């Protein structure tokens, strides 16, 4: 059984690991130090390092307080969780495919397909409703941004047709 105490301990450990990763890996490799710094507080790494130490301390405090505390309410679990995980995986897959195909498919076609999948996943079963929303919403948004707001939106494969509008 997964209790809120255990979840919080895991959170605290995760935060500490993040802080250690930041201080010992991300800052040394990700922050470019100038050759000469007048004093420590002006260094580009001073402030992120300080925040990293704070995060480490907070993570430690969370672990310590929950370790000493009593077990609290049990988090909900099992049958629904497995369903949730499947939906979550499906949702992430839709979003990932949507994102990667955006430059090629364009915003109208990509959004229409993604919207149809999302509506199905959300429980909508009426084909006409799915078709109407999937086509009208991206088309209207495209027309608004390109024609009213003058913001160019990539049309992808539909560019030859949409440019005529």
Partner 1 sequence: MLDTLSTAFTLFATLDNALVLLLGVIIGTVVGAIPGMTTVMAVALVLPFTFSMQPVTGILLLLGVYKGGIYGGSITAILINTPGTVAASCTVLDGYPLAQRGEARRALDIALYSSCIADFISNLSLILFAGLLASFALKFGSAEFFTLIVFSLTIIAGVSGKQLLKGFAAACMGLLLATVGLDLIYGTNRFVFGQINLMSGFTFIPVLIGLFAVPEIINYFVSVETSREKSKLAGIGASLADLKQCLKTIVRGSVIGVVLGAIPGIGGAPAAFLSYSEARRNSKDPEKFGKGELEGVAAAESGNNGVAGATMIPLLALGIPGDIITAIILGAFMIHGLRPGPLMFEQNLSLIYAIFMGIMLSSLFLLIVGKISIRTISKIADIPRHLLFPVVLILCVFGTYAVNNTIYDVGIMFAMGLFGFGMLKLGIPAAPFLIAFILGPLFEDNFRQALLISKGDYGVFFSSGICLFFWAMTILSVGILIWQHTAGKKHD
* Residue-by-residue DSSP string for 55-95: HHHHHHHHHHHHHHSPP-PBPP-THHHHHHHHHHHHHHHHH
Residue 47 lies near partner 1 (rule: CB under 8 A): yes
With CB under 8 A as the rule, give the number of residues binding partner 1. Answer: 68
Closest by CA position to 3, among listed 78, 77, 74: 74
φ/ψ (deg, to 5) at 33 = -85, 135
Q: What is the distance between the terminal CA atoms of the chain, rounded to a whole angstrom?
A: 58
Separation of alpha carbons 108 and 104, rounded Å: 11
Residues 105-134 as x/- pattern, contact with partner 1 by CB under 8 A: --x---x--xx--xx-xxxx----x---x-
Residues 58-97: x where in contact with partner 1 by CB under 8 A, - otherwise, as a string: xx-xx--x--------------x---x--xx--xx--x--
The residue among 97, 98, 95, 77 whose CA lies nearest residue 87 is: 95
Does residue 165 belong to the site contacting partner 1 (CB under 8 A)? no
Among 1, 70, 128, 150, binds partner 1 (CB under 8 A): 150
CB contact set of 63 (below 8 Å; sequence gap of 6+)? 9, 12, 13, 16
160 lies in the binding site for partner 1 (CB under 8 A): no
State yes or no: residue 15 binds partner 1 (CB under 8 A). yes
* Choice from 152, 160, 163, 164 touching partner 1 (CB under 8 A): 152
**What does the binding site for partner 1 look like in residue numbers (CB under 8 A)?**
4, 7-8, 10-11, 14-15, 18, 22, 26, 29-34, 37-39, 41-42, 44-45, 47-48, 51-52, 54-55, 58-59, 61-62, 65, 80, 84, 87-88, 91-92, 95, 98-99, 102-103, 107, 111, 114-115, 118-119, 121-124, 129, 133, 137-138, 141-142, 145, 149-154
């Amino acid at each position: 059984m997964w209790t809120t105490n255990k979840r919080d301990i895991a959170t605290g450990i995760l935060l500490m690991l993040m802080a250690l990763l930041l201080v010992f890996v991300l800052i040394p490799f990700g922050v470019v130090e100038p050759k000469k710094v007048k004093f420590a507080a002006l260094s580009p790494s001073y402030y992120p390092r300080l925040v990293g130490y704070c995060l480490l301390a907070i993570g430690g405090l969370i672990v310590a307080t929950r370790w000493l505390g009593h077990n609290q309410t049990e988090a909900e679990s099992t049958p629904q969780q497995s369903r949730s995980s499947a939906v979550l995986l499906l949702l992430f897959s839709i979003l990932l495919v949507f994102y990667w195909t955006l430059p090629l498919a364009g915003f109208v076609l990509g959004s229409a397909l993604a919207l149809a999948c999302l509506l199905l996943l959300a429980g909508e079963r009426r084909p006409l409703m799915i078709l109407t929303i999937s086509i009208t919403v991206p088309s209207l948004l495209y027309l608004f941004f390109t024609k009213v707001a003058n913001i160019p939106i990539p049309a992808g494969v539909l560019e030859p047709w949409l440019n005529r509008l």
